Amino acid sequence: MLRIATAAALVAALTALPAPAGAETGEWTGEWTAGWASAVQQPSPDVWYPTWAEKGFADHSVRQVVRVTAGGSRLRIRLSNRYGSAPLRLTGASVGKAGAGADVQAGTLRPLTFARSASVSIPAGGQAAGDPVRLAVKPGERLAVTLYFQGATGPATYHNLAQATSYRAGGDHLRDLGATAFAETNSSWFYLSGVDVHGGAAAVATFGDSITDGYGATQDTDDRYPDALARRLAGRRPVLNLGIAGNRLLNDSACLGERGLARFRWDVLDRSRVKSVIVLEGINDILLGLQEPTPCTTPAVKVGADDLIGGYRQLIRAAHASGMRIVGGTLLPAKGYAYLTDEAERVRDTVNAWIRMSGAFDAVVDFDRAVADPADPDRIRPGFDSGDHLHPNPAGYQAMADAIDLRSL
C-alpha cells in the first residue's frame, strides 16, 4: 500500500503552498471571472501524438482557439511559464473572435498588451496576466488567441490533450485575419492558461484526469463532459476544464502532470472566483499501480482504496478551507479495458461505495451509474463507449453532464 503523510500535514501543505513565481498580487480577485482555463503540464517527449512542446518556438506565431463559458464586455488572457527553465519572451499577442479554422472574424481583432507594453518577459516558473481589452463576448463564443515569439522559447509549458486544433505560422502574423499563413497544426495548447472575463457569476471547476480532459471526445467540437455541463448551465455559471489526461491523485508523472493533491492549489483554489469543484480522479492510480512502469508512469505505486479515500479527504479539507464547495464523482466502469484486473475492480467498487455513502463530499454525482450498461453494470454502456471500454464517447459525456444535479453546484 502507498504510504502518505498525515491528513493534517497534507492539508496544511495544500492550503499554505506559496503562489507560483511571478503571480500578480490581487489579479485573481475582484470582478474578474475565469471564463476558460487549462491545466498546464511540463514539456515532455510525445505522449500520444507529436506536439511542439519539447522544441518550443522561434520566429513563430501560434494561434489557439478556445471557447469561453462566461460573458462580459472585457477580457484578459493568462499565460504560464511554469515549467520554463529561463524567462519567456513574448514579442506580441492578439485576440479576436474565431471564425472557421484559423480565421478571425473581421472587426474583432484586438492587440493585447502587458502593463501597457506589447511585449512581456515572464520569469521561469511565473505567469502573466494581460491588460484588459474591450471585446464583448457571450458564453459559448470561440476566441482565437495569437502569440508571436521572435526569439527561441526553448521547451514550452503546455497542455497536451486540447481536443482542439492549434495553428502555427513562420514570422509575425498577429494581425492576420485569414488562415493562409497558419499551415501547421497541432492538438495541444501552449503557454495559454486562462481567459478571464470581467463580471459574471462564480465558476464551477471540473478537476480530474483524461475523462474530464475529454479523451474520446471529437476534435474541435467541444463535446467533453464539462462542455456539456456548460451548455446545461447556459451561461449562468462558467465551467472550467482542469483535467489532465493520465493524471493521478497520489503520484506525480514526468509527462502527465503533478499529482492531483499538489496541483489542486494552483489549478483550482487559486482560480478567479471559483466557488465549486467536481472531482473525478483515481482510476489512473488504480490501473497504473498494477502495470509495468513506463517513463510517464514512474513510479508505478500500488494503491488501495484507503489510500485514495485519504487523498479525497485532503482535497475536501483544502476546498473547505478556501470556502469552496466540493462534489465527488464516482469512478466510471472499466470492464473490458485492456489493463483492468479483478483487484483493480475491487478497489474501484470500494472507493465508489465510500464516495456515495460517506457524506464526506458536499454532494455526489454518480458518473458510474450514469454511463453503466444496465445489463452489466461493471461495463460502460455500448452506446456510450469510445471504444477502449474506459473513456466515454460524446454521448457518454453528455450522459455524465446530465447526471449532475445543478443545485449541488
35, three cell numbers: 471564463
Does residue 25 form part of some domain? Answer: no
Does residue 164 form part of some domain? Answer: yes
The DSSP line for 45-70 is S-SSS--STTT--SSEEEEEEEE-SS
Same domain for 254 and 237: yes
Q: Could you give the maximum distance between any two Cα atoms of the chain, in Å?
A: 61
Q: How many domains does the chain have?
A: 2
What was the pLDDT predicted at 50? 85
What was the pLDDT predicted at 272? 80
Does residue 209 form part of some domain? Answer: yes
Same domain for 95 and 216: no
Q: CATH number, domain at 53? A: 2.60.120
Domain limit, last residue, from 180, 195, 210: 195
Same domain for 215 and 103: no
What was the pLDDT predicted at 14? 40
Domain limit, last residue, from 145, 168, 195: 195
Regions of the chain where pLDDT drops below 50: 1-29
Residue 224's φ and ψ, nearest 5 degrees, are -75, 170
Secondary structure (3-state) at 226: helix
What was the pLDDT predicted at 20? 37
What was the pLDDT predicted at 309? 98
Does residue 1 form part of some domain? Answer: no
What was the pLDDT predicted at 46? 64
Same domain for 188 and 275: no
Give the contacts of 237 (CB within 8 A, at least 6 positions apart): 201, 202, 203, 204, 409
Which residue range(s) make up the domain with 284?
7-19+201-408
Secondary structure (3-state) at 398: helix
User: Whole-angstrom Cα distance, residue 179 to residue 353?
Assistant: 51
Same domain for 76 and 187: yes
Domain limit, last residue, from 148, 178, 195: 195
Does residue 338 form part of some domain? Answer: yes
Same domain for 207 and 187: no
Same domain for 218 and 187: no
Does residue 24 form part of some domain? Answer: no
